[in-house]
Amino acid sequence: MLEVRCSMFDVQRRFIILLAFAASSSIAVADDKSSLQKLLEQPILSPQQTLAETQAFCAARVAPLPHPKTSGEWGPLAETLRQETLARTIYRGEAAKWRDAPLKVEWLETIPGGPGYKIKKLRYEALPGMWIPALLYEPEKLSGKVPVFLNVNGHDAIGKAVDYKQMRCINQAKRGIVNLNPEWFNMGQLRQEGYAHGRMNQLDLCGTSGLAPFYLAMKRGLDVLLALPNADPTRVGVAGLSGGGWQTILISSLDTRVTLANPVAGYSSFITRGKNFSDLGDSEQTPVDLATTADYSHLTALMAPRPTLLTYNLNDQCCFKADHALPPLLDAGRPFFKLYAKDDNLRYHINAEPGDHNFQKENREALYQMIGRHFFAGDKAYDATEIPSADEIKTPEQLAVDLPKPNADFHTLAADLAKALPREAALPTTAAAAKSWLVDRRKKLAEIVKWKRYEAQAEPVGESDQAGPRVTFWKLKLDSGWAVPVVELNRAANPKGTVLVVADAGRASVASQAEALLADDRRVVLVDPFYFGEAKINQRAYLWGLLISAVGERPLGVQASQIAAVARWLSESRKTGPVRLVAYGPSSSLMVLVAAALEEAAVGEVEIHQPLLSLKEIIAQNRGVEQGPELFCFGLLEWFDMKQLAALAAPRKLEAPDAASRIAKSDLAELEAFFDLVEEDAAGRK
């Protein structure tokens, strides 16, 4: 039975109200803490327990390295690994079309460089509508085929104009190498909010790879270079620092046109990252599902037998410090280079001067040596000593490249995609279609969130009656390795029912709401799922959420599966029957809707407070993944918005108080009709 009093229509309806307050609303907490709130703040888990569980959870899901015995065995396997990684991580959704778009390059002015070279300004499309500004450093005297080089760079606000990158480009040009210096997203000329790396996950939400623009920007850069008449396809190099080092290993391992790579302080294995938190990467370095096919150890192995110089810094204050990042990569890569009898092609350089996060002179000269060894072998005149060129460094203004306006960014791309989503927005209008839709869509939702049926083993860890109700503290150990903190409150001898409460601000934030439920003679159970309340990770939290997605799971799926496990424990082990799920906050409301959709037996009524009006709000408000990784579940909006998720609760009662004034008449009518269909069908079957 579904009932709502909705003055805006001046009618009484048997229905649900989907949405309540604006997503930005927060739960008010009194300055003076109640005795119950103090009890709810008492810890149940061991210090840092969720962090340790997350480390173990992720490490266990990183794909292992294969162990081929010959190069003939590894060659086809390596190509399969490349194609699987491209398909599962990069060319997903709309990105499969972006990949096939024709290359568009616009050559602009040429400016003087310095002795022996010139600089050509250009822009090229990474994907339709997204232009990358770039500089081509070209020797003045070109004859025959010459090496080409893609010089990428990392998280430096100055971008392509940073002095140490200019110096690298200049020195390569003076050695007869044509090289491209492209801008990186959110750096230099592209330093705008829409290019912030955490915004790429808006594309993920739409079912299109947020990593694709990063990869295509590099791929198109190689396309530009190799289309030049003097380009030698056998001598193609890539190098970069930090995020540029990450770019270097990604493009070089997956695109075999690259014949020499020098990633500098740019990456470590996912296993290493789980132990050294400084290495936990941003959205682009920890993309959805990458670790299911290729850890960074695999990417290193995929370089074999092509010349590869791994440069790390002795006292790196940023990330990827030499002592912990480099050895596992060498251990992983060397056996694969050995298969080709090319052991010497995998080299390393550890920088001690200055030894910090840098691509300064010593590191650049290590690159020049690598270039000489492989691109100018036998050339006795080749000198790896850096050619002094400080007086040729130009200002960002001098190197600025005109860009079209508007120029697509992650946010605008996602906003365009979202217009046509979800794929099938309309709900079924016949009982038979509704029945089939529920089955199909629950299966699809389980697939998207990576739903798991966790089994729970409850361990009581304390009791109290100081606040009036009887309070029992539980630690639920799930078979997945998670431990979930649960607090049970009960005042009535024979409670009317059981309410399971989840809140974005943690269980202690809803003490007053719990008091009200207790006053109604309910058993109240409060749970903090992964990432919230006591189960929050206090160190680089959202990066762990990204890592969970990178290893093939989803934060939203973990959270909803945990909530459902608690509901089953209450319903089955505690014999409470189906529980009422109540959520406070946009993230908790989303988790609860998913849990209710996929756990039909143990979940009865559902009540959500402060949910999103639509998943499209995430994009409309231009949110970044650091604001809640569970909200960016890959492909969720492609198939579901809040209306569809609400419909999956049918025929159970679903309430979201105070929402009537915010939901469209058409959506209310459509949902009401759908719930009526399902309810009538269920009643008929009974």
217-245 residue pLDDT tens:
999 999 999 999 999 999 999 999 999 99
| pLDDT-derived band at 684, boundaries 50, 70, 90 | confident
Q: Tell me which of 385, 416, 447 is where a domain ends.
A: 416
Q: Identity (one letter) of the amino acid at 652? A: R
Residue 99 · residue 87 · CB < 8 Å: no
pLDDT in tens, 546-572: 999 999 999 999 999 999 999 999 999
31 in the same domain as 123 = no
Residue 304 · residue 340 · CB < 8 Å: yes
| pLDDT-derived band at 2, boundaries 50, 70, 90 | very low
Query: Where residue 452 sits, what CATH number does that domain have?
Result: 3.40.50.1820
More confident residue, 28 or 589: 589
SS3 of 537-561: the string is CCCCHHHHHHHHHHCCCCHHHHHHH
Is residue 618 scored above 80 in pLDDT? yes
| Spatial CA neighbour of 216 closest among 179, 264, 254 | 254
492 in the same domain as 556 = yes
CA neighbours closer than 13 Å in the CB half-sphere of residue 661? 4
Residue 288 · residue 204 · CB < 8 Å: yes
Q: Identity (one letter) of the amino acid at 481? A: G
Q: Which two tokens stand for residue 337?
A: 């280079």
How many structural domains compose the chain? 2
Distance CA 513, CA 503 (A): 11
| pLDDT-derived band at 686, boundaries 50, 70, 90 | low
325 in the same domain as 225 = yes
Count of Cβ atoms closer than 10 Å to residue 470 Cβ: 14
Distance CA 662, CA 438 (A): 26
Q: Is residue 198 part of a domain?
A: yes
pLDDT in tens, 482-527: 999 999 999 988 899 999 999 999 999 999 999 999 999 999 999 9
The pTM of the full predicted model, rounded to 2 decimals, is 0.94
Q: Which helix (H) or strand (E) holds 273?
A: helix 270-275
Distance CA 345, CA 87 (A): 28
What is the extent of the structural domain holding 569? 4-47+431-685
Count of Cβ atoms closer than 10 Å to residue 69 Cβ: 8
Q: Is residue 436 part of a domain?
A: yes
Residue 296 · residue 267 · CB < 8 Å: yes
Burial of 420 (0-12, 13-18, 19+ CB in 10 A): exposed
Is residue 6 scored above 60 in pLDDT? no
Q: Is residue 481 part of a domain?
A: yes
| pLDDT-derived band at 26, boundaries 50, 70, 90 | very low
166 in the same domain as 189 = yes
pLDDT of residue 661: 62
R_g of the chain, CA atoms, integer Å: 28
598 in the same domain as 563 = yes
| Spatial CA neighbour of 134 closest among 89, 75, 181 | 181
Q: Is residue 461 part of a domain?
A: yes
664 in the same domain as 605 = yes
Residue 656 · residue 609 · CB < 8 Å: yes
C-alpha distances (whole Å) from 200 to each of 261, 504, 659 are 26, 24, 31
pLDDT of residue 467: 63
Q: Tell me which of 389, 416, 443 is where a domain ends.
A: 416
pLDDT of residue 452: 98
213 in the same domain as 115 = yes
What does DSSP say about strands 105-114 and 130-139: parallel, antiparallel, or unpaired? unpaired
Least confident of 56-70, 417-431, 592-606, 665-679: 665-679
Residue 16 · residue 675 · CB < 8 Å: yes
Least confident of 22-26, 65-69, 208-212, 340-344: 22-26
499 in the same domain as 538 = yes
Is residue 1 scored above 60 in pLDDT? no
What does DSSP say about strands 231-241 and 146-151: parallel, antiparallel, or unpaired? parallel
Residue 239 · residue 264 · CB < 8 Å: yes
Q: Is residue 425 part of a domain?
A: no
pLDDT of residue 530: 98
DSSP string of 75-114, one letter each residue: HHHHHHHHHHHIIIIIS-TTHHHHHTSPP-EEEEEEEEEE
Residue 303 · residue 346 · CB < 8 Å: yes
8 in the same domain as 87 = no
pLDDT of residue 32: 55
542 in the same domain as 495 = yes
Q: Is residue 57 part of a domain?
A: no
Helix 431-449 to helix 665-685 angle (10° resolution) is: 100
| Spatial CA neighbour of 504 closest among 486, 488, 528, 485 | 528
Least confident of 46-60, 224-238, 239-253, 671-685: 671-685
pLDDT of residue 488: 96
Q: Is residue 577 part of a domain?
A: yes
What does DSSP say about strands 523-527 and 654-655: parallel, antiparallel, or unpaired? unpaired
pLDDT of residue 293: 98
Q: Which residues pair with 523 in a beta bridge?
A: 498
389 in the same domain as 437 = no
Report which DSSP code applies to 621. Answer: T
pLDDT of residue 680: 84
pLDDT in tens, 262-280: 999 999 999 999 999 999 9
204 in the same domain as 125 = yes
Distance CA 379, CA 617 (A): 60
pLDDT of residue 600: 95
Residue partners of 542: CB distance under 8 A and separation at least 6 = 625, 626, 627, 628, 629
At 70, is the secondary structure helix, strand, or coil?
A: coil
Residue 622 Rama label (left phi>0; alpha psi -120 to 50; beta): left
Is residue 25 scored above 60 in pLDDT? no
Residue 401 · residue 384 · CB < 8 Å: no
| pLDDT-derived band at 88, boundaries 50, 70, 90 | very high
| pLDDT-derived band at 31, boundaries 50, 70, 90 | very low
pLDDT of residue 658: 67
What is the torsional sign of CA 155, 156, 157, 162? negative
Q: Identity (one letter) of the amino acid at 46? A: S
Count of Cβ atoms closer than 10 Å to residue 121 Cβ: 18
In 479-630 the beta strands, taken as DSSP E runs, fall at 483-490, 498-503, 523-527, 579-584, 603-609
DSSP string of 409-453, one letter each residue: -HHHHHHHHHTT-SSS-SPP-SHHHHHHHHHHHHHHHHHHHT---
Least confident of 26-35, 121-130, 635-644: 26-35
More confident residue, 21 or 567: 567
Is residue 160 scored above 60 in pLDDT? yes
Q: What is the mean pLDDT of residues 646-668?
A: 84
Residue 481 Rama label (left phi>0; alpha psi -120 to 50; beta): left
Residue 591 · residue 529 · CB < 8 Å: yes
pLDDT of residue 17: 34
Q: What is the mean pLDDT of residues 536-544?
A: 93
pLDDT in tens, 315-373: 999 999 999 999 999 999 999 999 999 999 999 999 999 999 999 999 999 999 999 99
Q: Tell me which of 416, 440, 466 is where a domain ends.
A: 416
Q: Which two tokens stand for residue 413?
A: 């791309």
Q: Which two tokens stand for residue 675?
A: 């719930």
Q: What is the mean pLDDT of residues 384-392?
A: 98
Q: Is residue 573 part of a domain?
A: yes
Q: Which helix (H) or strand (E) holds 664?
A: none
Angle at 109 between CA 104 and CA 110, to 5 degrees: 110
| Spatial CA neighbour of 456 closest among 581, 557, 574 | 574
| pLDDT-derived band at 15, boundaries 50, 70, 90 | very low
Give the rounded percent of residues in the chain with a pLDDT score beyond 70: 94
At 141, is the secondary structure helix, strand, or coil?
A: coil
Q: What is the mean pLDDT of residues 661-671?
A: 80
- What's the start-to-end Cα distance of the chain, in Å? 15
Average pLDDT over the chain, rounded to an integer: 93
| Spatial CA neighbour of 525 closest among 499, 551, 504 | 499
pLDDT in tens, 197-207: 999 999 999 99
